Amino acid sequence: MEQNQETASVQEQNPVAPAAKKSPSGTAVLAIVIMSMVIGSFTTTFTKMVMNMGVASETVSLYRMVIVSICLFPLCVVNQQYRGEMRKAFSSRSIAAKMFVLGLCKMLGIVLCAWGIRHVPIIVYNTVWNMNPVFTIIFAYLILKERVNPKSLIGVAICLIGVLVVGSGEIFGAMGTDNFGAMVTGVSLAAISSVSYAVYLIVSRLLRSGFSMVPLMFVLFTIASVLQFIVCLFSGVSLALPLKALPLLFVLSMLCTLMTQSIPVWALKFMSPTLYSLINLGSIVLSACNAFLLLGEVPSLSTIIGSSILIIGLFIYLKTKDRK
C-alpha cells in the first residue's frame, strides 16, 4: 500500500516522465564491436600511407585528434545536456583526473602507433600491441575486482600463444641485422601503447556512468590534441599537409579514430573490458590482409599459423567466459 502511494506521488510529480531506454541486445552490441574492429584494422595501414606522402608521424597524430574535436564541438555547443556534462567533467578533482588520464592514454595510443610503424612492419606492431588483454585482465582484477572464469583463461592463453607466433618470425629474424635496433624501438613503443590502451579501457569503464558519448569524446580528444600539440612544438616537426593527404587523413580521423575509439566507451556499458580486448585481437588478421593489399607487406607463414591459433583461442574464450 505504501509502495502504491509512493508510486502515485512520483507520477503526480512527473506526469510525463520518459520511459527508460531499452538496452541493446548482446548480439547487437557484439556486431557493432566487430564492425568497429574491422574498420579499426585499417588504422595503421592508413596512417602509414599518409606518412608515406611526406607527413611527419607527429603531425598525422595531431590532425587526427584535432579533426575529431572540431567535428564534435558543434554537437556539444547546441545540446544543453552536453554542455552540462562538459561542465561536470571538471566539477571535481577526481573526475578531472580521470579525464586527463583518458586524454593522455588516447594521445599516447595515437602517437605511439605513428612512431612505432616507422620502425617496424605493421604486423609486428599490431602483434605486440594486441598483448593488451593481458594488461586488461590484470587491471580489471586489481581495480574492478572482475573475476575471470578459470576455463576461459585457457582461451586467453591460446590467444596469446597465437599473438606470439604471429610476430616471432619477424622479431627473431631481425636479430644480428642492422634493423634490430629499429625493431626493438618499435616493439617497445607498441608495448607501451598496449599498456596505455588497457588503462584507457579500465578508466573508461569507471567513467561510463553520467556522461554521454559525444561530450566525453570531445573532452578527451581536446585534451589529447593539446598534449600532442605540445609534443609537436618540442619536436619541431612541420605541421604542413599536402593536399593529396587530406582525403585519406579525413577518413583516418572520422572512421578509424572517432568511430573506433568512441565505440569502446559505449560498448563497455554492456560488456567487460577483457571481452572487448579479446575481440579486438581479430584486427591482427585483418590488418595483415589490408597491409598486404595496400602496402605490399607480405605476411609470413608464422602470421598465418598464429592468426589461426588466435581465432581458436578467441572462440574458446567466448564459449566459456560466462560458464560457472
pLDDT tens-digit series, residues 79-96: 888 888 888 777 778 888
Per-residue pLDDT tens over the stretch 208-230: 666 787 888 898 899 999 999 99
Mutual angle of helices 260-267 and 26-40, in 10-degree steps: 160
Confidence band (pLDDT; 50, 70, 90) for 14?
very low
CA 209 to chain centre: 19
Mutual angle of helices 180-207 and 260-267, in 10-degree steps: 40
Q: Which residues contact 151 (CB under 8 A, 6 or more apart)?
A: 320, 323
Residue 59: the pLDDT is 93
Residue 322: the pLDDT is 56
Helix intervals (H) in 26-151: 26-40, 43-51, 57-78, 80-88, 93-119, 122-129, 132-143
Q: Identify the CA nearest to 117 among candidates 232, 287, 285, 248.
A: 287
The answer to whether the CB of 191 falls within 8 A of the CB of 131 is yes
Residue 210: the pLDDT is 67
The answer to whether the CB of 79 falls within 8 A of the CB of 211 is no
Task: Check whether 162 has a pLDDT greater than 90.
Answer: no
Mean pLDDT estimate for the chain: 81
Task: Check whether 16 has a pLDDT greater than 70.
Answer: no
Q: Identify the CA nearest to 258 among candidates 50, 103, 68, 111.
A: 68
Q: What percent of the chain has pLDDT over 90?
A: 22
User: Which phi-psi region, left, alpha or beta, contains residue 239 (left: φ > 0; alpha: ψ -120 to 50)?
Assistant: alpha
Q: What is the mean pLDDT of residues 52-72?
A: 92
Residue 223 exposed, middle or buried by CB count within 10 Å (0-12, 13-18, 19+): buried
Using only the alpha carbons of the chain, give its radius of gyration: 21
Q: What is the mean pLDDT of residues 179-205?
A: 84
Task: Check whether 8 has a pLDDT greater than 60.
Answer: no
